[in-house]
Amino acid sequence: MRLLTVLAVVGGAILAGIGFTGSYSALVKLGQQHHFGWFAHVFPVGIDAGIVVLLALDLHMIRKHTPWPVVRLVAHFLTVCTIAFNAASAPKPIREDLVGAAMHGVLPVLFIVSVEAGRKLVMRAANIAAGTESAGVPLHRWLLSPFSSGAMFRRIKLYDLTSYPQAVKLEKARIVYRVMLERQYGSIRKAPSDARLPLTMAKYGLSVDEALALPEEAEEAERLRIEQKEQRRIEAQARAAQRAAQAEIARLRAEGQITAARLSVAAETGVAEAQARAAQAQADALAAAQARAAEKGAAAIESADAAEANKRAAEADKVAAETRRRTAETNQAAAEVERAAAEARRIAAAERQAAADAEERTEAARKRAAEAQLRAVETRAAAAEVELRAVEAEDMARLSPKERGARKVARMILATGSSDAEQVELTAIADALGVSITTASERRREAVELLNGGYRP
């Protein structure tokens, strides 16, 4: 095999060199005959080297999975051209000397066959490396059984069978299976549909085992779809339950906050009531102490303890005075709080009134803006109507472009609501008339003269 490989490579290179040399000489001579001049020595290289380059580019594009048939078609076109050119380079016309034309045309065939053989070898190696090798049907099978060979070739190419023996093995298995069905059921038509699947699916490139496994695969796929559907339903229910739980948690949190607020208010109320009861009890105790002190003082006016009773009565008065002072401070603080609350209510009412006034002013401003916009639209419509009538009048009067421009500038001045021509800038006039600033100045001067002369559109 190594010797054959070396012989094929070396021999192919020699044949390609002989073919290229002969083709080059013939094409140089033909180019000189057709007055190519110095380009006659370049022309053969462009033809023959173009074939090699295009076939190599075709292989490279196939290798990169971006085949383009146009490249190979152009290479084949150049092949036909070089053979025709070599045949035409014979000294005599082709009709007079067929043998000479064939002798000249056979040399590039050696070169082309060598290149195509190399391409096929590289192509096969690339397909084997990529795992995309596709066999064909041998010629003897086409001759012996053309109809079954056509069906086999169709299955090989459509369903990427990588070898002819594999296709033969599948065909044998289907033939044996058909015979076994006829043996079991007496006729193919009497067999169940599932048993006929290998014969029905043969045109799709399925083997007997693959076809018989289709019902189980379909059932398994259906079970898988049902399981996936059930899984999605369970997941949806879980998501719904999670959303409901989150909503319930949020509701409980809100209720807890409300309950906490209620308890806080109740605690503050209880503290205030306790403080009030304590103050009342303290006042009652002071009153009772004063009464007892008075009784004791009356009973001991003439006793030796009268001084002591007066002392205790003075202390009781002092405690009562302190209690009244604290009560007065408490009442004053409450009054201050009430005044602050009243002031806050007054400020809030004033702010609400101010907001209402601002809303009313905003609404009035919106109405005025709408009215102004309506008036502006009406003004523009009236101006457009005036402009249209003025243009029609100018058309009827057959005025020159200069006179039309002056009248248009006069209407622009009148549209400002003032007789001062300076209100209309020269740039606006230039844009409206499509003229230069100098011409715009002249048109404005002419417009002033028209207005002074009594022009009104």
**Is 31 a residue whose pLDDT tops 70?**
yes
Is 437 part of a structural domain of the chain? yes
d(CA 212, CA 201): 10
Task: Outline where DSSP puts E strands in 210-285.
Answer: none
117 and 167 part of one domain: no
Is 330 part of a structural domain of the chain? no
**Is 125 a residue whose pLDDT tops 70?**
no
> Average pLDDT in the 359-383 region?
73
Given 69, 98, 130, the domain boundary residue is 130
Contact 446, 406 (CB under 8 A): yes
pLDDT at residue 372, rounded to an integer = 67
d(CA 138, CA 164): 8
Q: Domains in the chain: how many in total?
A: 3
- pLDDT, tens only, 229-285: 999 999 999 899 888 888 888 888 888 888 878 877 776 776 677 677 766 766 676
23 and 122 part of one domain: yes
126 and 143 part of one domain: no
27 and 124 part of one domain: yes
Is 374 part of a structural domain of the chain? no
DSSP 17-85: HHHHHHHHHHHHHHHHHTT-GGGGGTHHHHHHHHHHHHHHHHHHHHHTT---HHHHHHHHHHHHHHHHH
- pLDDT, tens only, 147-199: 888 888 887 777 767 677 878 888 888 888 888 988 888 888 888 888 888 88
d(CA 150, CA 154): 6
What domain range is 148 assigned to?
A: 139-212
52 and 74 part of one domain: yes
- 345 vs 68 pLDDT, higher one: 68
97 and 190 part of one domain: no
Is 302 part of a structural domain of the chain? no
Given 157, 184, 212, the domain boundary residue is 212
Is 186 part of a structural domain of the chain? yes
Q: What tokens were used for 97?
A: 């000397």
pLDDT band at 33 (very low <50, low <70, confident <90, very high): confident
Is 106 part of a structural domain of the chain? yes
98 and 158 part of one domain: no
- pLDDT, tens only, 411-443: 888 877 766 778 788 888 888 888 888 888 888
d(CA 409, CA 435): 12
177 and 83 part of one domain: no
- Beta-carbon contacts of 134 under 8 Å, excluding residues fewer than 6 positions away, are 127, 156, 157, 160, 161, 162
Given 130, 162, 184, the domain boundary residue is 130
110 and 163 part of one domain: no
Q: Is the pTM of this model over 0.95?
A: no
160 and 53 part of one domain: no
Is 19 part of a structural domain of the chain? yes
125 and 143 part of one domain: no
d(CA 435, CA 446): 15
89 and 58 part of one domain: yes
d(CA 139, CA 142): 5
* Range with lowest mean pLDDT among 34-43, 101-110, 303-312, 447-456: 303-312
For 311, half-sphere exposure in the C-beta direction (CA atoms, 13 angstrom radius) is 4
